[in-house]
Amino acid sequence: MTKDVYLLRAFEAGADAVLVLACPEENCRYAEGGKRARKRIQWVRAILDQIGMDGQKRLFIYNTAAAGEKAVKGIIKDILSGLKHIKESP
């Protein structure tokens, strides 16, 4: 389960960005897991915005957990290149 506190604690530990890889929403074994993860990401992004850390640029969710190594590597590469333009986490 993607608990919101785990995402925040990752930033507390010094992460500049957090990527959540979830299964496609229509393919969740537990029916709603992907949808709930997306809602929680939105919630935590709003918290990060309130702190002054741009949530949209630091917290990501991709529903491609089953897409394969190449796709995941591509996502990580995109995120890392985006991080060059934002400040390090406190």
Copy the structure tokens of residue 41.
């990401």
Phi, psi of 21 (to 5 degrees): -100, 115
The verdict on 81 binding another protein (CB under 8 A) reads: no
Please tell me the distance from the alpha carbon of residue 62 to that of residue 3, in angstroms, as a whole number. Answer: 16
Looking up tokens 């785990």 gives 6
For residue 69, the minimal CB distance to another protein (Å) is 32
The verdict on 1 binding another protein (CB under 8 A) reads: no
Beta strands in the chain (DSSP E): 18-21, 59-62
Question: Can you tell me which of 1, 5, 69, 84 binds another protein, judged by CB under 8 A?
Answer: 5
**Contacts with another protein: how many residues (CB under 8 A)?**
14
* Contacts to another protein by CB under 8 A: 3-5, 8-9, 11-12, 47-48, 50-53, 90
